[in-house]
Structure 1
Amino acid sequence: MIEISALKSPINNQLAITGSKSESNRLLLLNQLFENVLKLENVSNSEDSQLMQKALANKTDLIDIHHAGTAMRFLTAYFSIQEGKKVTLTGSERMKQRPIKVLVDALNELGAEISYQENEGYPPLSIFGKKLNKKSITIPSNISSQYITALCLIGTKLKNGLTINLDGKIISVPYIQMTIQLLNKVGIEAKFEGNTIQIPFTENIKVQTLQVESDWSSASYYYSLIALSKNSQIKISTYFEDSLQGDSSLQHIYADNFGVTSSFENGILKLKNDENFIPKPFVELNLINTPDIAQTIAATCVGLKMKCNLTGLETLKIKETDRLVALKNELEKFGAIVIITNDSLMIDGYHDFQKIPTLATYNDHRMAMCMAPLAQIHSIRIENEMVVEKSYPTFWEDWKQLGFEIKSI
């Protein structure tokens, strides 16, 4: 457990954050599919991306990806097309509780040979790689975008290409768009129009160097920190104004609701307080396209004692933990009155609280990081703080660089 106390002076620092986990894992798998013709710069140093690289290099028949959900989805699809190769794909106890049936059903319908070793619909999986010949699939669209992305990535190597028909209302659209844009960027003519995705078979892509943009969800903690600080600014790299990442909508969300402005110069993103900002009494946001920043926004509202209604959060229940329940449990330690449904979180008011809150992390990296900025309001304690290694291993070192006193308890 660690204890963090508020800074005694305004923030004026610069930090470097490594590449987006989402972009890195997509590009790592693409690079493997196309025989390593991509030179990738600024790849994420997250545990998830390291596990992805390790799994792709693994020559054994047992692949353990621990808590890495993205790797589980992407690798299920990848190993399904490795003809003649048999693997067992497993993970942590929490991973064995995270559903994967929709993706497995889709791959098996395309001709894959995947079965469950323990519970129906959940890892661990037994996968025997085969040649997939069917060229179209229809799947529900209100599912994790990672299932859809996994199919898009391997579709590039199916001889007939792949058409994916999405049935119903699509959630997490920006993550699907990111996948399509990355495919386009390396020279693959993928298309996403309406509820249809078309992925052409692509034999080769040209040798090229790509710089992975830094992670916008990691930037969210600094948006929150500036929102909870006064007369402060921070510069972080490497970020682009024309980002592929949906979480770049942080710029507008935090400017409109919390008075944090964003500006760019040569890949450096500068965040600072807007001196003329007038706070709103109530924040209402539909985060269906950006669920990964919901925890940060909820914590920011608590730090500023703002009421809010955040909707579009149905995917939070199947992440590293049930994030809606976790948020309710932990934010109530700050006196917040929190109401959750299956897809929403409302903060309806506040009680006084006295003692230093001790915050659980639920083996969820984002629970640790989204709570950290609240140290600007009140000293806090965070259990199992090294869970941040999943996506942002240097998080606490960066916070010490900002001047925070962080001590072990």
Structure 2
Amino acid sequence: MIYKISCGGGSIKGSIALPASKSISNRLLMINALSGDLVNINRLSEADDTITMKALLESKSKALDVRDAGTVMRFLTAYLATIPGEYSLAGTERMHERPIGILVDALRQLGAQIEYSGTEGFPPLKIIGGVLHGGELVIDGSVSSQFISALLLISPVISGPLSIEFSGKISSRPYILMTLKLLESLGINSKWKDNKIKIRPGKLTETSIDVEADWSAASYWYSMVALAKSADITLQGLTAQSIQGDSIVASIFGMLGVRTEFNESGAKLTKSGEVVDEFGFDFTDCPDLAPAIIVTSAALGVPGLFTGIESLKIKESDRINSLQKELGKIGVELDRISDRAIRTRINAMPVNSALSFETYKDHRLAMSLAPLCLLHENIEIDNPEVTSKSYPDFWDDLRSVGIEVAPSS
């Protein structure tokens, strides 16, 4: 399927009920499963990843397919290692290209029995679940914070204290903090000092938790406001006090001309008219925000230097390669400086030309490219249904603010 997207007047206005955070939802689902249904989860995400997570946690099957859900693959690897039985865990072809060796090695040190069914260090996996013991782990924290969160989430049910020491730089630190805060809300305390986390097993307590609106999803609306001629968008349910690290998006887009005002309804976004001449940011703590911000700064004609992007190559697509190809269509060159840094160079940009964008089966690429309809008439987005992975109502929400979205004939 291909969608044709346009916004003739370049102006948008409306109030958007953002999806619930799938990051919080997936963690709560795993904690709930380990606790024996002690967590009452209000406003669970309806994203494909969360639906998959819930279905597999409730499944009686021994052969589990996570499809393209990276979080589910990593969390279930740890979860199944604690559940008696023999399981196979697989996914899509792309999932089998995404590394998991760091997590498997760590779980083996805690007593897990896990074998690779294909290429060493990658899914699919064969897991024989049982009792795991505590221990002291040293882990490279630069690859994926989800490896760390997976280990922390099973800490309440292993037989002994767990210590995780990080070697090198820590990627997506706020997501680890989110995991620790959710565990703390259920009675599991931890201590993070310098580069080491210590956490003890314990009894999870019954609680009720409301899932926050998703700040990652908000980034695409910030992009639309930045590129629109005029904008008045309210994002319902967002607050300045959030356990999501991606809430930093409000501050980042302040440099790209978007003003954020919090009120009882949520966050009101309008144009400030103040855009920096050059832009730079380190995405180590918030890599999921990188595509939307890189596309926005490029579309505004603002050259940028972006660091902390090394994890982008192991996402749903290699997002650096994908962005290189797609931004080239609007006259922007994306140069790799190193494995963790890229620079954008702005050339002559085609005005109001018809553009067709590939999404590479990557939900964040599709949603990051869609706002370009505010600058270019009749853009086309291939495979638009991929947005259901994290934001099922994305296209309907675009229609609600005056953007035309229709299948291409």
* TM superposition score category, shorter chain reference: over 0.9
User: Which residue, out of 286, 301, 304, partners 1:305?
Assistant: 301
Distance between the aligned counterparts of 1:377 and 1:10, measured in 2?
Answer: 11
Asked if the contact 2:7–2:402 (Cα under 8 Å) also holds between the matched residues in 1, the reply is no
Inter-CA distance 267–31: structure 2 relative to 1 (3 Å threshold): farther
Aligned-pair distance for 1:64? 0.2
Aligned-pair distance for 1:333? 0.4
The code of the aligned residue for 1:100 comes to I
**Mapping 1:138-157, distance limit 5 Å:** 138-157=138-157
1:347 aligns with 2:344: yes
* Residue in structure 2 matched with residue 402 of structure 1 by the alignment: 401
Aligned-pair distance for 1:346? 1.2
1:3 aligns with 2:1: no
Distance between the aligned counterparts of 1:36 and 1:179, measured in 2?
Answer: 18
Distance between the aligned counterparts of 2:43 and 2:321, measured in 1?
Answer: 34
* Residue in structure 2 matched with residue 213 of structure 1 by the alignment: 212
Q: Equivalent pairs: percent with the same residue?
A: 38
* Residue in structure 2 matched with residue 248 of structure 1 by the alignment: 247
**Mapping 1:70-219, distance limit 5 Å:** 70-83=71-84, 85-205=85-205, 207-219=206-218
Higher strand share: 2
Secondary structure in 2 matching 1:153: helix
User: Which residue, out of 292, 295, 299, partners 2:291?
Assistant: 295
Distance between the aligned counterparts of 1:267 and 1:26, measured in 2?
Answer: 26
The code of the aligned residue for 2:328 comes to E
Asked if the contact 1:283–1:306 (Cα under 8 Å) also holds between the matched residues in 2, the reply is yes
CA deviation vs aligned residue, 1:111-135 (integer Å, no higher than 9, x gap): 1000011111111100000111232
* Residue in structure 1 matched with residue 281 of structure 2 by the alignment: 285
Asked if the contact 1:94–1:320 (Cα under 8 Å) also holds between the matched residues in 2, the reply is yes
**Structure 2: where are the runs of 5+ without partners?**
none
* Residue in structure 1 matched with residue 359 of structure 2 by the alignment: 361
Cα root mean square deviation, aligned = 1.3
* Residue in structure 1 matched with residue 315 of structure 2 by the alignment: 319
Inter-CA distance 283–153: structure 2 relative to 1 (3 Å threshold): same
Distance between the aligned counterparts of 1:178 and 1:344, measured in 2?
Answer: 26
Inter-CA distance 334–9: structure 2 relative to 1 (3 Å threshold): closer
Asked if the contact 1:180–1:192 (Cα under 8 Å) also holds between the matched residues in 2, the reply is no
Aligned-pair distance for 1:167? 1.6
CA deviation vs aligned residue, 1:320-373 (integer Å, no higher than 9, x gap): 111000001001101112212422221112124364111110110001000011
Aligned-pair distance for 1:209? 1.4
Distance between the aligned counterparts of 1:80 and 1:338, measured in 2?
Answer: 42
Distance between the aligned counterparts of 2:388 and 2:10, measured in 1?
Answer: 28
Aligned-pair distance for 1:76? 0.1
Aligned-pair distance for 1:266? 2.8
Distance between the aligned counterparts of 2:187 and 2:48, measured in 1?
Answer: 29
The code of the aligned residue for 1:291 comes to P
Distance between the aligned counterparts of 2:10 and 2:141, measured in 1?
Answer: 48
Distance between the aligned counterparts of 1:9 and 1:392, measured in 2?
Answer: 23
User: Which residue, out of 240, 258, 261, partners 1:260?
Assistant: 258
**391-400 or 160-169, which moves further after superposition?**
160-169
The code of the aligned residue for 1:63 comes to L
Aligned-pair distance for 1:9? 5.8
Distance between the aligned counterparts of 2:232 and 2:193, measured in 1?
Answer: 40
Aligned-pair distance for 1:267? 5.1
Distance between the aligned counterparts of 1:140 and 1:278, measured in 2?
Answer: 39
* Residue in structure 2 matched with residue 56 of structure 1 by the alignment: 57
Asked if the contact 2:134–2:159 (Cα under 8 Å) also holds between the matched residues in 1, the reply is no
Asked if the contact 1:177–1:192 (Cα under 8 Å) also holds between the matched residues in 2, the reply is no
